[in-house]
C-alpha cells in the first residue's frame, strides 16, 4: 500500500521514520582507510634523508651513485661514473648521474625509478649498497614534489640496441610510475649504461658533509672506480681508479638458522616445497647438512619425517630451541666483499699525507645469522693538524656515512677505546686528540642501520665488539710507532746535550796532550764518531712529504677546495655585513657632526 492510499483510507498521513543516529565508533570507522606507501613517505620524507635542502642534494646523488656501483659490480664492469650538478638558480638544481653499467630493460625502468619498495636486493642475502628498494625512487618523488617536473631516464643494454628514454613521475596514490613521455633513440658513444636527470630544490654547501667529501670518500673505498664530478661552479674533478682489479663478486646465500625468528620460521614452513622437516632444514638454510638437520630434530624432540605443514606453533618453538642447542658452522663469507687491509690503507694514503699508516681486517663474524667483516685503518702525523679531535671516517658496504657522526656503533666503539694506551691524549667518552684519522668499514649482507636514511649503524654487541677489536689492532701498531718516536726524541735530546760539550772536551784534550789547534776539527769528528758508535745510529723519523708516493695533492685538495667554497660564501656575507655596518656608522657620524655644528652655532 502506498502512502497516498494510506492517507485515503485513514485520513491521516503516515509517521515519518526518524534517521538512526550513528554512534561515535561508527562515525570514526567511516573515516578510516588504507595509507599508501608512497603517500606515507611523501609526507614523511625526512625518514628517507630529505630533512633539508642540503641533505636532499646529498641523498639524491648518493642513491644514484650507489645504484651505479652496484650495477657495475654485478656485471663485473669497471665503473666509470659521471656526476654533474647544474645550478638553475632560485635554489633549484639539476642532478645528472651517468654510468657505464649493464643498463636496464625497458619494462623495468619505470618500476625501478618510480615505485617505492621495488628492487632485487631486499630478498637476496649478499652484500650490496642498496637494500630496501626505496632510495632512487624517493629522489624522483622529492624532485617532482619540489619542482613539479618529471625525471628523465635513459638506459641502453647493448651496442646493438637502441636506448630507451622516458620522462616519468611517481604516482603517490598508487605507488606506481606515471610515464609522461617515452621513446627509443640512439645514444652515440655509449655501448651500455644508464643516465638519470632530476630537477629538485636543494642547497649546495661545501665542508665535511658535502657532495665533494662524499664522492672523495667513495673513491677511497671503491679504488676500482673512476668518478668524474662537475660541481655547480662548473669545476671538474676526476677521481681516477687506483687499481684495475675488480672486487670479487658477492655470492647469494641462504639464511642461517641462528638468525631466523619464530614467526619467520613459521612462514617458511608454510611456503616450502620440502616434503619432510629434515629436508626443509637441509635445503632452506646455509650450513645445515642432513646430519645437522637430524641433530636439530633430535635436540628439539621432533620427528625428522614430519611434514612442514603439520608443524604447530608449539612444535616450531621446540624446533627453535633445538637449533639453539645445536652447534652449527658460521655462514659462508663469499657473500661479502671487504676492501682488504692493503687497499684500505692505500685509499687512506691517497687522501692523507701522514707519516704513519696501518690497517686491519678482522676475521668474519655473525650477528643474528648475518655474516659481516669489520676493517679499520689509521693515519697519523705528517700534514695532519696537531691540535683538535681525531677525524672519524665511517663506511658501510663501501658507502661513506657523513651524517649523525656521533651516533651509531662506529663512534661509540672509537670513543670507548682507551687511546691513552697508544700514546694519545683522550677525554672521557670522546675521541682522542692529535694528528690522527680513524677509518672504520663494515661489510655485511644486511647492515643494521638505525633508520631508512642509512646514516648510522645500530649498536649490536657483536658488531661493536669486532669494531673495537679492529681499532685496537691498529692502535697497538700506532702505539709502537708513537713510543718509538718518543724514544728517538729523548735520545736526540741526550745527544744534543753531549754534543754541546764536544768542543770544550776537544779544547781540554789539546791543552792536556799538547796537540796543535789545527787538529781540533779532527778531534771533534772522532768524538762524534765515538758517540755514534756507543749510542747507536738514530733512525730518521722526520716527516718527509715526498715519501708518500700514493698521495695525490690534487686529489686531496678537493676537500680543501670545497671548504674554500664555504669560506668564500661566508666571507661574502661577512663583507656585506661589514659594508652595511660601515655605511650605518658613517651616517651616524655625519648626523652627530651636524648636531654638533648646530649646537656650536
Tell me the CATH number at 352.
Answer: 3.30.230.10
Residues 296-326: tens digit of each pLDDT:
999 999 999 999 999 999 999 999 999 999 9
More confident call, 306 vs 13? 306
Tell me the CATH number at 309.
Answer: 1.10.8.50
Name beta bridge partners: 156.
193
Asked if the model's pLDDT at residue 577 lies above 50, the reply is no
Same domain, 132 and 57: yes
Q: Does some domain include residue 537?
A: no
Same domain, 186 and 292: no
What pLDDT score does 583 carry? 47
Same domain, 312 and 375: no
Which parts of 210-254 fold into alpha helices (H)?
211-221
71-75, 213-217, 538-542: which has the minimum mean pLDDT? 538-542
Q: Does some domain include residue 562?
A: no
Same domain, 54 and 178: yes
7-11, 92-96, 445-449: which has the minimum mean pLDDT? 7-11
More confident call, 150 vs 259? 150
Asked if the model's pLDDT at residue 275 lies above 70, the reply is yes
Asked if the model's pLDDT at residue 565 lies above 50, the reply is no
Q: β-pairing, 436-444 with 391-396?
A: parallel
Q: Which of 121, 124, 125, 104 is closest to 177 using CA atoms?
A: 104
Cβ-Cβ contacts under 8 Å for 193 (sequence gap 6 or more): 98, 99, 100, 101, 103, 155, 156, 187
Can you tell me the mean pLDDT for 350-366? 89
Can you tell me the mean pLDDT for 387-394? 90
More confident call, 114 vs 563? 114
What pLDDT score does 536 carry? 64
Q: Does some domain include residue 118?
A: yes
Q: Which three cell numbers stand for residue 478?
A: 700506532
Q: Which residue range is the domain that position 223 belongs to?
A: 41-239
Same domain, 346 and 202: no
Q: Does some domain include residue 387?
A: yes
Q: Which of 137, 202, 201 is closest to 171 using CA atoms?
A: 137
Same domain, 88 and 200: yes
What pLDDT score does 562 carry? 31
Asked if the model's pLDDT at residue 601 lies above 50, the reply is no
Around Cβ 46, how many Cβ atoms within 10 Å?
A: 14
Same domain, 399 and 266: no
Q: Which of 124, 592, 113 is closest to 336 using CA atoms?
A: 124
How many independent structural domains does the chain possess? 3
Tell me the CATH number at 184.
Answer: 3.30.565.10
Signed CA dihedral, 443, 448, 449, 450: sign only: negative
What pLDDT score does 106 carry? 93
Asked if the model's pLDDT at residue 597 lies above 60, the reply is no
Same domain, 182 and 303: no
Same domain, 320 and 283: yes
Q: Does some domain include residue 353?
A: yes
Place of cell 670518500: 217
Q: How far apart are CA 311 and CA 319, in angstroms?
A: 10
What pLDDT score does 561 carry? 33
Can you tell me the mean pLDDT for 551-556? 64
Q: Does some domain include residue 504?
A: no
Mean pLDDT computed over every residue of the chain: 82
The torsion defined by the Cα of 101, 105, 107 and 113, in degrees rounded to 10, comes to: 10
Q: Which of 420, 435, 434 is closest to 479 using CA atoms?
A: 420
Q: Does some domain include residue 496?
A: no
Domain boundary at 447, 481, 515, which? 481
Name beta bridge partners: 85.
95
Residues 137-159: tens digit of each pLDDT:
889 999 999 999 999 999 999 99
More confident call, 403 vs 571? 403
What pLDDT score does 442 carry? 94
What confidence tier does 177 reach under pLDDT thresholds 50, 70, 90?
A: very high
What confidence tier does 587 reach under pLDDT thresholds 50, 70, 90?
A: very low
Phi, psi of 583 (to 5 degrees): -65, -45
Asked if the model's pLDDT at residue 522 lies above 60, the reply is yes
Q: Which residues of 549-568 are buried (b: 16+ CB within 10 A; e: fewer)?
A: eebbeebeebbeebbebeee
Domain boundary at 324, 356, 372, which? 324
Asked if the model's pLDDT at residue 36 lies above 80, the reply is no
Residues 184-223: tens digit of each pLDDT:
999 998 999 999 999 999 999 877 778 888 898 888 888 8
Read off the pTM: 0.74
Q: What is the DSSP string of 379-417?
A: EESTTS-SSSBPEEEEEETTEE--S-TTSHHHHHHHHHS
Same domain, 306 and 356: no
Asked if the model's pLDDT at residue 568 lies above 70, the reply is no
What pLDDT score does 585 carry? 55
Asked if the model's pLDDT at residue 278 lies above 90, the reply is yes
Same domain, 345 and 317: no
Same domain, 261 and 310: yes
What pLDDT score does 507 carry? 76
Q: Which of 305, 253, 314 is closest to 281 using CA atoms?
A: 305
For the chain, percent of residues with pLDDT exceeding 90: 41
What pLDDT score does 503 carry? 79
Asked if the model's pLDDT at residue 406 lies above 90, the reply is no
Domain boundary at 324, 352, 381, which? 324
Q: Does some domain include residue 244?
A: no
Q: β-pairing, 163-171 with 151-156?
A: antiparallel
Q: Which stretch, 109-123, 485-499, 547-561, has highest mean pLDDT?
A: 109-123
Give CA separation, 596 vs 584, 585, 587, 590, in Å.
18, 16, 14, 10
Can you tell me the mean pLDDT for 343-351? 85
Amino acid at each position: 500500500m502506498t502512502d497516498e492510499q494510506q492517507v485515503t483510507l485513514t485520513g491521516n498521513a503516515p509517521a515519518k521514520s526518524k534517521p538512526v543516529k550513528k554512534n561515535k565508533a561508527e562515525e570514526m570507522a567511516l573515516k578510516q582507510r588504507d595509507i599508501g606507501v608512497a603517500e606515507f613517505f611523501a609526507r614523511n620524507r625526512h625518514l628517507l634523508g630529505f630533512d633539508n635542502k642540503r641533505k636532499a642534494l646529498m641523498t639524491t646523488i648518493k642513491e644514484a651513485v650507489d645504484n651505479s656501483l652496484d650495477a657495475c659490480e654485478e656485471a663485473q664492469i669497471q665503473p666509470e661514473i659521471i656526476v654533474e650538478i647544474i645550478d638553475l638558480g632560485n635554489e633549484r638544481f639539476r642532478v645528472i648521474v651517468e654510468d657505464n653499467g649493464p643498463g636496464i630493460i625497458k619494462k623495468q625502468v619505470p618500476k625501478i625509478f618510480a615505485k617505492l619498495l621495488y628492487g632485487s636486493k631486499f630478498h637476496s642475502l649478499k652484500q650490496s649498497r642498496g637494500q630496501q628498494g626505496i632510495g632512487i625512487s624517493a629522489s624522483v618523488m622529492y624532485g617532482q614534489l619540489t619542482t613539479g617536473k618529471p625525471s628523465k631516464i635513459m638506459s641502453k643494454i647493448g651496442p646493438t640496441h637502441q636506448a630507451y628514454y622516458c620522462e616519468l613521475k611517481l604516482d603517490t596514490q598508487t605507488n606506481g610510475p606515471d610515464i609522461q613521455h617515452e621513446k627509443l633513440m640512439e645514444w652515440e658513444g655509449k655501448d651500455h649504461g644508464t643516465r638519470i636527470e632530476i630537477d629538485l630544490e636543494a642547497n649546495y654547501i661545501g665542508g665535511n658533509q658535502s657532495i665533494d667529501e662524499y664522492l672523495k670518500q667513495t673513491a677511497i673505498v671503491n679504488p676500482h672506480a673512476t668518478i668524474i664530478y662537475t660541481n655547480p661552479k662548473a669545476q671538474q674533478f676526476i677521481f681516477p681508479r687506483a687499481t684495475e682489479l675488480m672486487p670479487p663478486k658477492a655470492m647469494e646465500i641462504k639464511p642461517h638458522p641462528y638468525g631466523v625468528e619464530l614467526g619467520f620460521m613459521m612462514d617458511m614452513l608454510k611456503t616450502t616445497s620440502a616434503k619432510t622437516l629434515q629436508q626443509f632444514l637441509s635445503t632452506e638454510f646455509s650450513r645445515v647438512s642432513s646430519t645437522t638437520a637430524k641433530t636439530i630434530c633430535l635436540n628439539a624432540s621432533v620427528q625428522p619425517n614430519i611434514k612442514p605443514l603439520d608443524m604447530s606453533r608449539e612444535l616450531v618453538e621446540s624446533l627453535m630451541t633445538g637449533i639453539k642447542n645445536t652447534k652449527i658452522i658460521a655462514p659462508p663469507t663469499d657473500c661479502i666483499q671487504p676492501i682488504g687491509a692493503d687497499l684500505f690503507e692505500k685509499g687512506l694514503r691517497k687522501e692523507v699525507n701522514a707519516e704513519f699508516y696501518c690497517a686491519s681486517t678482522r676475521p668474519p663474524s655473525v650477528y643474528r645469522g648475518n655474516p659481516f667483516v669489520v676493517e679499520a685503518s689509521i693515519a697519523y702525523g705528517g700534514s695532519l693538524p696537531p691540535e683538535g679531535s681525531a677525524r672519524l671516517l665511517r663506511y658501510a658496504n663501501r658507502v661513506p656515512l657523513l651524517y649523525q657522526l656521533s651516533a651509531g656503533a662506529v663512534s661509540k666503539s672509537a670513543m670507548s677505546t682507551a687511546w691513552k694506551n697508544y700514546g694519545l691524549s683522550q677525554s672521557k667518552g670522546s675521541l682522542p686528540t692529535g694528528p690522527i684519522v680513524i677509518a672504520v668499514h663494515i661489510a655485511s649482507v644486511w647492515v643494521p642501520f638505525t633508520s631508512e636514511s642509512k646514516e648510522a649503524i645500530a649498536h649490536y654487541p657483536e658488531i661493536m665488539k669486532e669494531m673495537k677489536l679492529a681499532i685496537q689492532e691498529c692502535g697497538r701498531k700506532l702505539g709502537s710507532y708513537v713510543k718509538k718516536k718518543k724514544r728517538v726524541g729523548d735520545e736526540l735530546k741526550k745527544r744534543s746535550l753531549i754534543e754541546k760539550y764536544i768542543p770544550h772536551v776537544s779544547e781540554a784534550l789539546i791543552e792536556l796532550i799538547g796537540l796543535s789547534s789545527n787538529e781540533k776539527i779532527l778531534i771533534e769528528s772522532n768524538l762524534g764518531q765515538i758517540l755514534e758508535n756507543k749510542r747507536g745510529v738514530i733512525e730518521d723519523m722526520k716527516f718527509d712529504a715526498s715519501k708518500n708516493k700514493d698521495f695525490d695533492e690534487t686529489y686531496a685538495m678537493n676537500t680543501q677546495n670545497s671548504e674554500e667554497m664555504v669560506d668564500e660564501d661566508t666571507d661574502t656575507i661577512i663583507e656585506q655585513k661589514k659594508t652595511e655596518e660601515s655605511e650605518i656608522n658613517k651616517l651616524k657620524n655625519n648626523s652627530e657632526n651636524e648636531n654638533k655644528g648646530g649646537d656650536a652655532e
